[in-house]
Amino acid sequence: MPNKHVVIVGCGFGGLECAKKLEGAPVEVTLVDRHNYHLFTPLLYQVATALLNPSDIAYPIRKIFRDSPNIRFRQAEVTAVDFDAHVVHVANGPGIPYDELVLATGSTTNYFGNEALADAALGLKNLEEALQLRNHILTCLERASAAAATGDTEALAGWLTFVVVGGGPTGVEFTGALAELFHLVLVSEYHNIAPGRVRIMLIEGSSSLLSAFDDRLGDYAARTLEARGVEVVLSKLVTEAGDDHVLLSDGEVVRTRTLVWSAGVRPEDPVAADAVLRSRSDRIEVGPDLRVAGHEVVYAIGDAASVTEDGRELPMLSPPAMQAGRYVASAILGDATGPFRYRDKGTMATIGRAAAVAQVGTRIRLTGWLGWVAWLVLHLYYLIGFHNRLQVLAAWGWNYLHGDRPIRIITRAKGDRTSSSRSAA
Amino acid sequence: MPNKHVVIVGCGFGGLECAKKLEGAPVEVTLVDRHNYHLFTPLLYQVATALLNPSDIAYPIRKIFRDSPNIRFRQAEVTAVDFDAHVVHVANGPGIPYDELVLATGSTTNYFGNEALADAALGLKNLEEALQLRNHILTCLERASAAAATGDTEALAGWLTFVVVGGGPTGVEFTGALAELFHLVLVSEYHNIAPGRVRIMLIEGSSSLLSAFDDRLGDYAARTLEARGVEVVLSKLVTEAGDDHVLLSDGEVVRTRTLVWSAGVRPEDPVAADAVLRSRSDRIEVGPDLRVAGHEVVYAIGDAASVTEDGRELPMLSPPAMQAGRYVASAILGDATGPFRYRDKGTMATIGRAAAVAQVGTRIRLTGWLGWVAWLVLHLYYLIGFHNRLQVLAAWGWNYLHGDRPIRIITRAKGDRTSSSRSAA
């Protein structure tokens, strides 16, 4: 009897861990992802703020599994899953049949159905968006410099105001890094822009930053950001946005060319809506063994899956996804004992140079320099590949010594020549 | 009397050298470029073949001149020059008046008027094209892997055939690097593609490669490339191209998804066609002091300018551009003595690992390992910025030790949100 064929859709933290645990096991694995790389998303904001190169946090999937003959990779966009025929359909080419299926398709930016906001805002959830954001920020400075040269103060204000929505780790980390970028380049490289003209606003709907953390850590983050020049705006929402302004829930109109949205994510999966049950947060309902309700050979993990423990859904973070990936690999190999249990090892967020917060359980809290070092070590540890670790370590060291963010280039690849719009061979 | 205002259009090798020589001098300089970086074009092919990051060879212009208060930078697309009013017009914002003007606008890929070829081909002349080419090559391998999985041998041949036109340094260097990339990844990462299926064709219209070099060096390059798996096709042209094939001048139809055009460049400048005289090669006619004929305060240098010595036009290469840039700076400062004279210090091209050719005058010729080391040292020396040199040196060292080309990611930035199509502030 041939080995069973496991298809894993998505090579984020969950899918990658699952595939790694299946390396060398008596199963054939096909890993499908729309990108040819695994992305270390926690450092995306450092790409967006000109500190890291995309390749520092994006690792070719084929390279990860080059010595694993039982793991195949297929770069493809999954369009649908036929649960009856056991086939994953993809955009380019024939479907991929499976014996067992792992849905690890992750999440995307959540604009809560507001199309106008989605249209006006920039996301920070994938590499394309991070590069777009880097290009955008640097272009804003160039346009501001041109506006300053002609004395157009109204335009200047728009180019130099940066509104970030969402006071979770992404918003905190991104605004902290943005303040550092401007602090670095404005005085030395944009002689005609007074640094005081720049306005970075971090807008959070609830009454504190980092709501997943202890209140004291959120307060510390807010104080630290404000000391670095970020306006922290709590208990307000952005209700409307256009090309050159946003409207806040208290009626204030802010003239800005930049709205960055980090106010939440929603599951992104290609499964037909009525084939699976979903939680209120739109994640796929799974049982305690992470099998999709009603589908014996299908698992869902990570942001795509609704795993509840003690009546609460696990957060959309990498640790539960990684643990679920390993659990599902065990289940597929028949090694799982008992239901999936998430072990919370804590969360952390960095605010910038020598300042971060970390929380382990309800007792251990770190802030400041110690939290920052813990953050650095942990992120380097989880970053994949010796080469990438070296690169990132070198980039951080360079930044620490020189305060430099060297990737300040505005560049985009020319259009795709291999898309399906070209005639088929 | 205020200092005179010098506008330099283009921050390639010529414009950059000119601006550097004017640092601290009693003139006000505005440097205009469509990009915010100076690009080290000789290493573009290493970006296209996944060895270097864009930021390794692209250096922020503002950073170069951060300590030079008399050099201002303006990122803008120049649309026209009004020689009567002494104004440079740009796409975004008001025109830039000048007292003296330096046109250093460089060159672009020359398709010799063949629109169909231009449409089907990929260029390798700027960073956008290099990134597009990297994405394209890696995508071809992914599509080939999918075609191999379904047994579609015809499609497979198309995805795995890479036609490069032009046997000058760019074509030689690019095909050599491409062979190394495939040698590296195919065996270890694309288990279902036999390396023998890959076909790299280097097509040159004349009877030898590297026609600017001594014949023996061209022969050495051809032999070395062939030993590394590149088919060198001499005395043939590509006459027609479509999405999935090219037609050679001897009637052969080659099924391919990739046509890379490195068969020549043509000057690219925004000057109204009838305002200046042009040479047969479409470069702007200049006098022995590099002033544009009929325009006393306008200079043209580099690929944009037709400089003749001993009855021959200087080649479109960086050394004449750099020397002309320095000469024009002297002329602007009133320090130039006599007409411009180009000092040819030689040319070189690398074929790949431990193989390169170099020629100084008619006597000194280097090949093999020695030529390669000379090439490495010289390119590192001319690369701008300590950080970039470190990065490139590290990348080359890593490549030499591990044979790795780590930037194997397919990525493109999402669309521009700051273009003029957005409503003006």
SS (H, E, C) chain A: CCCEEEEEECCCHHHHHHHHHCCCCCEEEEEEECCCEEECHHHHHHHHCCCCCHHHHEEEHHHHCCCCCCEEEEECCEEEEECCCCEEEECCCCCEECCEEEECCCEEECCCCCHHHHHHCECCCCHHHHHHHHHHHHHHHHHHHHHHHCCCHHHHHHHHEEEEECCCHHHHHHHHHHHHHHHHHHHHHCCCCCHHHCEEEEEECCCCCCCCCCHHHHHHHHHHHHHCCEEEEECCCEEEECCCEEEECCCCEEECCEEEECCCEEECCCCCCCCCCECCCCCEEECCCCEECCCCCEEECHHHEECEECCEECCCCHHHHHHHHHHHHHHHCCCCCCCCCCCCCCEEEEEECCEEEEEECCCEEECHHHHHHHHHHHHHHHCCCHHHHHHHHHHHHHHHHHCCCCCCCCCCCCCCCCCCCCCCC
B149·A191 Cβ contact <8 A:
no
B413·A418 Cβ contact <8 A:
no
Name the residue in chain B with its Cα closest to that of A70. Answer: B191
The complex's ipTM works out to: 0.92
Torsions phi, psi for B69 (to 5 deg):
-65, -20
Q: Which residues of A touch B159 (CB under 8 A)?
A: 425
Which element (helix H / strand E) includes B137?
helix B127-149
Q: Which residue in A109, A140, A417 has the most chain B C-beta atoms within 10 A of its own C-beta, making it the best mutation to test that interface?
A: A417
Closest partner CB to A53 (pick from B55, B188, B423): B55
Exposed / middle / buried, residue B112 (Cβ in 10 Å: 0-12, 13-18, 19+):
exposed
The yes-or-no verdict on residue A226 having pLDDT over 50 is: yes
Closest CA to A97 of A83, A107, A115, A110: A83
- pLDDT above 90 covers what percent of chain A? 69
Residue A190: both structure tokens together: 């944009």
Q: Which residues of B touch A150 (CB under 8 A)?
A: 93-94
CA distance B245 to chain A (A): 9
Give the model confidence (pLDDT) of A401-411 as tens digits. Answer: 887 888 888 87
Closest partner CB to B37 (pick from A145, A189, A409): A409
Pairs of CB atoms within 8 A across A/B: 201
A 391-410 residues with CB below 8 A of B?
394, 398, 404, 406-410
Report d(CA B16, CA B376) in Å as an integer: 22
- In the three-class reduction of DSSP (H, G, I as helix; E, B as strand; rest coil), residue B379 is classed as helix
List C-alpha distances in Å: A378 to A346, A353, B142, B207. 11, 16, 33, 58
A234-260 average pLDDT score = 96
A274 C-beta neighbours (distance < 10 Å), count:
7
Question: What pLDDT, on a 0 to 100 scale, did the predictor assign at position A333?
Answer: 97
Give the pLDDT band (50/70/90) at residue B127.
very high
Give the model confidence (pLDDT) of A121-171 as tens digits. Answer: 999 999 999 999 999 999 999 999 999 988 899 999 999 999 999 999 999
Name the residue in chain B with its Cα closest to that of A37. Answer: B409
Q: Which residues of A touch B417 (CB under 8 A)?
A: 122, 132, 136
Residues of B identified as active-site: 173
Closest partner CB to B122 (pick from A92, A417, A422): A417
Which element (helix H / strand E) includes B351?
strand B347-352
Report d(CA B351, CA B177) in Å as an integer: 7
Strand spans (E) along B174-257: 199-204, 230-234, 238-241, 245-248, 253-255
Name the residue in chain B with its Cα closest to that of A189. Answer: B66
List C-alpha distances in Å: A107 to A41, A384, B127, B285. 12, 21, 31, 58
- pLDDT above 70 covers what percent of chain A? 97
CA distance A160 to chain B (A): 12
For residue A112, the one-letter residue type is F
CA distance A287 to chain B (A): 34
Q: Does B57 touch chain A (CB under 8 A)?
A: no
Question: What pLDDT, on a 0 to 100 scale, did the predictor assign at position A424?
Answer: 32
Domains in chain A (CATH in brackets) are 4-34+76-110+266-332 (3.50.50.60), 115-263 (3.50.50.100)
Name the residue in chain B with its Cα closest to that of A52. Answer: B55
Closest partner CB to B191 (pick from A69, A131, A398): A69
Report d(CA B238, CA B234) in Å as an integer: 11
Q: Does A244 touch chain B (CB under 8 A)?
A: yes
Per-chain mean pLDDT for chain B: 91
Name the residue in chain A with its Cα closest to that of B138. Answer: A36
CA distance A412 to chain B (A): 5
Residue A373: both structure tokens together: 């070092």
Say which residue, B414 or B328, is predicted with more confidence.
Answer: B328
Closest partner CB to A142 (pick from B75, B129, B152): B75
The yes-or-no verdict on residue B150 having pLDDT over 70 is: yes
Triad B140, A12, B134: Cα angle to 5°: 25
B35·A76 Cβ contact <8 A:
no
Residue A279: both structure tokens together: 């939680």
CA distance A364 to chain B (A): 39
Please compute, for residue A196, the number of CA atoms within 13 A of its CA located in the half-sphere on the CB side: 0
B92·A128 Cβ contact <8 A:
no
CA quadruple A123, A124, A130, A135: dihedral sign: positive
CA distance B66 to chain A (A): 5
**Cβ-based neighbours of B47, under 8 Å, separated by 6 or more:** B53, B54, B56, B57, B127, B130, B131, B134, B407
Phi-psi sector, A236: left (phi>0), alpha (psi -120 to 50), beta: beta
Question: What pLDDT, on a 0 to 100 scale, did the predictor assign at position A418?
Answer: 60
Exposed / middle / buried, residue B67 (Cβ in 10 Å: 0-12, 13-18, 19+):
exposed
B36·A128 Cβ contact <8 A:
no
Q: Does B132 touch chain A (CB under 8 A)?
A: yes
Specify the pairing of strand A347-352 against strand A199-204: unpaired
A406·B417 Cβ contact <8 A:
no
Closest partner CB to B131 (pick from A185, A410, A411): A411
Give the model confidence (pLDDT) of A43-86 as tens digits. Answer: 999 999 999 999 999 999 999 999 999 999 999 999 999 999 99
Q: Which residues of B touch A88 (CB under 8 A)?
A: none
The yes-or-no verdict on residue B178 having pLDDT over 50 is: yes
Closest partner CB to B408 (pick from A60, A142, A425): A60
A71 C-beta neighbours (distance < 10 Å), count:
24
A29-40 average pLDDT score = 96
Question: What pLDDT, on a 0 to 100 scale, did the predictor assign at position B423?
Answer: 32
**Cβ-based neighbours of B388, under 8 Å, separated by 6 or more:** A406, B40, B55, B56, B57, B59
The yes-or-no verdict on residue B392 having pLDDT over 90 is: no
Which of A173, A231, A240, A309 is the catalytic position? Answer: A173
Give the model confidence (pLDDT) of A295-334 as tens digits. Answer: 999 999 999 999 999 889 999 999 999 999 999 999 999 9
